Amino acid sequence: MKKFLFLFLCMLAIPLFAVKVDLNSATFAELRTLPITEQQAKDIYDYRQYVAYFEDIYDLRKVSSVDQPTLEKLRPLIILTHYVETDDSVIRRAQIGYLLQRMDANEGSQEGMSDVWEDFLMTPQNANGMFFNDYLSLPNVSPVDAYAVMKRRAQGDTLIDQRDLKNSPGLSFYGYSNMKNYVYYKEPPIKDRIFVDYQLKYQSTPLEDDPMAMYKQAILRPTYGMVASSTPLPDAVVAAINHKNNSYWGFLHMDSYAPSVLNKVRIRYGNNIKAGILYDSPSGNEDIFKTGGQELLDNGKFYAGYENTVDFFGATGIKQYFGNYRVTYGEGLILDNTDYYTSRNTGYGFTKRILGITPDLSRTQEYSMKGLALELRKTWMDASFFYSRDKKDAIVYMADSVWADGTHHSHPLKNDDGTYQVLSYVTSTHGFDNDELTEAENYFDHELSVIDHTTYPNVYPWAVPYINLAPRENFLTETVTGGHLTLSPFVGTNFGFTTYTSVYDNTDFVIPKDADLKQLLIRDSYNYKYWKTPDSELSNLYSTKNGNYDRDYRRVVGFDWMSVIKNTSFQGEYAELSVNGKDTILGDDPKAVVLSSYTQFDNLYLLSLYRNYDLNFDNPYSRAFSEHQKLTDTVVEKYNYTMTNPLIGDMVYNNAQAQAERGLYFETRYRFNSYFTLGKTYVDIWERLSDHRKSVRFQGDLDYRPVYQISFRAKYKKQINRYDESADRAVSKTDEYTASVATFLTSRDYMSFEYRYNTVWGPPYLSITYPAVPVANNQANGSTQMTGDFVAVNYSHNFNDNLSVDGSVLYWNGHGISHWDWEDIEIDFMGQKGMKYWFTIQDQLAHNVFISFKYKYKEYQTLEEFVRQYNIAYPDNQNNYFQRVERVENSIRLQIDWKF
């Protein structure tokens, strides 16, 4: 009896020792343990998160679903600790911190877009007031998903909460997952207030191999004109040729340390009033503290804007921006003003475009818009107008004059009417001002003229004895006006018209015919043989004056469309560049078209895309789907060392346009079951129109998960160039095999092991097969197979909610094959053989201060080199053969974000 009484008393005492629930810190799951309904728990949680903390127990009566009996029932089970009032935006930032981290990591073509997405994460949009393009512009949301929500709203339904959104007919779970954090339903979770974001980014990134070789290319190279002879040039001439200052790299002291520094400030009031300013100091440019007012205005970026939805004959969305903005329509065929090229940019998934007018504080400089933009939106109509006036960099025709003192002076070539001649837009790899470039060119022009061809008769005269083409900063004054009108007769279907006109106040684009252009680009007539069929892409660049017309503008017109039928969307865009035809007649000018369809199921999607871009469709603001960027494989890229000025190579290395192609692309992803998933798998069959080379590229990716935490993955990639003529010398076949195993640990930790094996089959080129043997190019026809492999360990570790580290260790062997690797937010192309490791540390130092630090070490070998005259051996006693050249690189990236 005593034991029973003791046990009974202990049971009565259990509630006294039980852990009580703290209303000011409990999770939703902890609130659900209380004797209340799920709706009451949710209401209590939402009140604390978005209204106020509880000061005493009677504040529970402020929650509409909690009555007095419920309060009495909860009284012995809860406690209220002291709380510190926390900004509601800080709460939301903690909830979606993983998404914000991904936004901060976006660079390149999505860099400015990430700012827009981050704003909507912090201050979501009302799901019941958004327009079709608002849904469509969200990351990884397809037209079918956007149509599902808009159709439901058109039927008079109102979205109440996340569960209601999830149950929208036709909305995929993937679309819902990517949409839910960007929207709200009743009251905004974050009250309108002022937000300030400051970002500092410090980066020291070495140049890639091709741009570095371009800058190191010796300007003075008379050996290309040598006849076959065993007699080398005199030592004095060789010394002059190989002098360090005979390259841009040496003359402009590019071996000195020159990091890039970016400063960016964004201010906004809710999602309505926005402003920002950015100054990016790329490697070689002066930082913001040494910059004058005019340079800051020319190279800095800023904007001020207003966005809202007002009642003007129904709900009307308004966007107004002054300063720098981005414009994107349709498939990006007519207009998408970014400096960055993205291969296979379908506009779906991770190649998303934000349609319409958006503010722009990205590092885009060459194709940035600076002026005024206005957009009006209704459910049945979308209209936008824009005006921009800005200065652009260009490849300029140069003239050389000799002053009385015998010095050479380089200056832009001027027409009789006072305008200048330019060859092309250019986005320079390294920033130099015009005074520095002029000084280098004057020196090179003088050196190019000092060789005494009478004394050295084996050295042939130059075809171009001076720097006749050169990049110039802020040289081209461009005024752009344009607009877009979309009509939507019913939900999910729209038809749009787009046009823009670029007027050039002070310049003419001049493109000579093939023979003249070849002599203009290539310095020595000995190298004219390198001008090939693919170089027709150069001679088809746009001219503002030719034998048929003389104008000061470039105009592009076109239209786009989209229609969603059940679970399939059809879309496309057509464009024409005005040349000799009429703007009101289709088909009489260089044209381009993109057609695509997207079918979506719960565990499967099917994407088909057709593109056809005429060779002379030269639209500098086009960013449509393609396998390669414009001018790839032309003489400017493949034989850059023969150019009159190697800096012309930037026309290719930083070109953002699509190459003239015609082809079909198919892509899919299918989740068979919880074990097997066919990842992004595609096949592309296309023809390069400059030389009609036909190619095919395939990639397949299969993931097997016996348990969720372990993944086995196999990937295969194959590409064949010139598949229609197996005997052609341009045939090449590439195979890539990848196997990896990954484990997903607790606390979102991750580790993987990856092995890749590559083979490349192609014709035997002496520069690859026998790079240091002086023999004539008389090898028999045949084939050469190169192999390479790659092994990597990748990892991610979260020390706590605030501190994490990601990194990788890699080893590779190329044998002539170029390997590539994704490093958190950037892609890296490696040399012949080497190793590297990198890590990125991310930490939240305070509730509104975030820091990211990346360090990379890389050492590798380039191709073996032999310093000699072309096809002439040096004496054996001269050590001019380098079996391998090793490079060591150290780079860091530091980013600090202050958000308040």
Query: 746-776: per-residue pLDDT in tens?
Result: 878 999 999 999 998 876 554 444 444 444 4
pLDDT for 297 beyond 80 = no
d(CA 546, CA 539): 12
pLDDT at residue 503 above 70? yes
> What confidence score (pLDDT) does residue 881 get?
46
Report pLDDT for 767.
46
CB 376 within 8 A of CB 383: yes
In degrees, rounded to 5, the angle at the alpha carbon of residue 575 between the alpha carbons of residues 571 and 581 is 150
- Three-state DSSP class for 439? helix
Q: Give the pLDDT of residue 674.
A: 86
Does the pLDDT of residue 188 top 90, yes or no?
no
Average pLDDT, the chain: 83
Write out pLDDT tens, residues 871-884: 444 444 444 445 55
What's the chain's length in residues? Answer: 900
Q: Tell me the helices (H) and strands (E) count for the chain, helix number first.
A: 21, 36
* Model confidence band, residue 166 (pLDDT cutoffs 50, 70, 90): confident
Q: Is the pLDDT of residue 796 over 70?
A: yes
Write the pLDDT tens digit of every residue in 17-52. Answer: 456 888 887 888 888 888 888 888 888 887 877 667
The predicted-structure confidence for 402-411, as pLDDT tens digits, reads as follows 888 778 888 9
Any idea which of 188-197, 363-372, 412-421, 765-774 has the lowest mean pLDDT?
765-774
Task: Sort 128 into a burial class: Cβ within 10 Å, 0-12 / 13-18 / 19+.
Answer: middle
- The number of beta carbons lying within 10 Å of the beta carbon of residue 431 is 19
pLDDT at position 616 is 94
For residue 392, what pLDDT is reported? 94
For residue 878, the model assigns a pLDDT of: 46
**pLDDT tens track for 585-598:** 888 899 999 999 99
Q: Which residue has the higher pLDDT, 756 or 125?
A: 756
| Predicted local confidence at residue 120, as pLDDT | 83
Strands 183-184 and 125-126: parallel
Question: Is the distance from CB of 487 to CB of 404 less than 8 angstroms?
Answer: no
Please check the confidence at residue 686 and state whether its pLDDT lies above 90. yes
With CA atoms as reference, report the closest residue to 812 among 860, 857, 769, 768. 860
d(CA 14, CA 2): 19
On the question of pLDDT at 499 being above 90, the answer is yes
CA neighbor of 378 nearest in space, from 459, 309, 301: 309
Say yes or no to pLDDT of 779 above 60: no
Q: Which helix (H) or strand (E) holds 117?
A: helix 111-122
Q: What is the mean pLDDT of residues 622-644?
A: 93
d(CA 614, CA 576): 10
Return the axis-axis angle of helices 111-122 and 88-95, rounded to nearest 10°. 120
pLDDT of residue 156: 86
Taking only the tens place, the pLDDT of each residue in 322-370 is: 999 999 999 999 999 999 998 999 988 778 888 999 999 998 999 999 9
Q: Measure the CA–CA gap between 115 and 105, rounded to whole angstroms.
A: 11
**Per-residue pLDDT at 311:** 85
What is each CA distance from 672 to 141, 144, 176, 568, 589, in whole angstroms? 22, 21, 21, 20, 47
pLDDT band at 147 (very low <50, low <70, confident <90, very high): very high
Q: Tell me the C-alpha to C-alpha distance, in Å, between residue 486 and each of 135, 243, 351, 521.
A: 16, 60, 22, 43
Backbone angles phi, psi at 227, to 5 degrees: -80, 160
Helix 88-95 and helix 97-105, axial crossing angle in degrees, nearest 10: 80
Confirm if 676 and 714 have CB atoms less than 8 A apart.
Answer: no
Q: What is the mean pLDDT of residues 51-80?
A: 83
Residue with tokens 């000195």: 256
pLDDT value, residue 821? 84
622: number of Cβ within 10 Å: 25
> Which pLDDT belongs to residue 756?
94
- In angstroms, what CA-CA distances link 817 with 200, 784, 820, 822? 37, 12, 10, 17
Pick 377 or 868 by higher pLDDT.
Answer: 377
Instruction: Output the pLDDT for position 871.
Output: 43
Q: Which amino acid is at 746?
A: T
3-class DSSP state for residue 388?
A: strand
Burial class (CB in 10 A: 0-12, 13-18, 19+), 1: exposed
CA gap 23, 422 in Å, rounded: 69
Helix (H) / strand (E) element for 664: namely: strand 661-671
**Helix runs in 512-655, H state only:** 514-521, 536-539, 635-638, 650-653
Confidence of residue 96 (pLDDT cuts 50, 70, 90): low
8 A C-beta contact, residue 631 and residue 638: no
Following DSSP, what letter does each residue of 868-889 receive, concatenated? S-TT-PPPTTS--EES-EEEEE
User: SS3 for 890?
Assistant: strand
Provide the 10 A C-beta neighbour count for residue 738. 17
Q: What is the pLDDT of residue 475?
A: 93
- Element (DSSP H or E) covering residue 122: helix 111-122
pLDDT digits (tens, 9 = 90+) for 718-727: 999 887 776 5
Q: What is the mean pLDDT of residues 42-66?
A: 80
Exposure of 334 by Cβ count < 10 A (0-12 exposed, 13-18 middle, 19+ buried)? buried
DSSP, res 216: H
Strand, helix or coil at 267? strand
pLDDT band at 478 (very low <50, low <70, confident <90, very high): very high
Q: What's at 338, amino acid-wise?
A: T
Q: Is the pLDDT of residue 394 over 90?
A: yes
Tell me: the pLDDT tens digits for 699-719? 999 999 998 889 999 999 999
Distance, CA of 248 to CA of 521 (rounded, Å): 18
Average pLDDT over residues 619-629: 95
Residue 507: in which H helix or E strand, if any?
Answer: strand 507-509
Q: Give DSSP secondary structure letters for 797-837.
A: EESSSSEEEEEEEEEEE-TTPPPEEEETTEEEE--SEEEEE
The candidate with the shortest Cα–Cα distance to 334, out of 541, 575, 596, 540, is 575
**495-526 in b/e burial notation, b at 16+ Cβ within 10 A?**
ebebbbebbbeebbbbbbeeeebbbbbbbbbb
> Which one of 224-238, 455-469, 545-559 scores highest in mean pLDDT?
545-559
Among the residue ranges 33-37, 274-278, 369-373, 657-661, the one predicted with the least confidence is: 33-37
Question: In the chain, what is the straight-line distance between the N-terminal and C-terminal CA atoms, in Å?
Answer: 66
* 256: pLDDT strictly greater than 70: yes
In which band, very low, low, confident or very high, does the pLDDT at 541 lie, cut at 50, 70 and 90?
A: very high
What value does the mean pLDDT take over residues 235-253? Answer: 73
Contact between 378 and 314 under an 8 Å Cβ cutoff? The reply is yes
Say what percent of the chain tops pLDDT 70.
Answer: 82
pLDDT of 228 strictly over 50? no
Lowest average pLDDT, out of 63-77, 132-146, 494-508, goes to 63-77
The answer to whether 258 touches 277, Cβ cutoff 8 Å, is: no
pTM of this prediction? 0.84
Give the model confidence (pLDDT) of 440-471 as tens digits.
999 888 877 765 555 555 555 567 888 999 99
| Mean pLDDT of all residues in 556-560 | 96
User: Quick one: pLDDT at residue 237?
Assistant: 58
Higher pLDDT, 565 or 15: 565
In this prediction, residue 774 carries a pLDDT of 45
Q: In this predicted model, what pLDDT tens digit does every residue of 822-844 receive, in sequence order?
A: 887 777 878 778 899 999 999 88
Residues 853 and 263: their CA atoms lie apart, in Å, by: 16
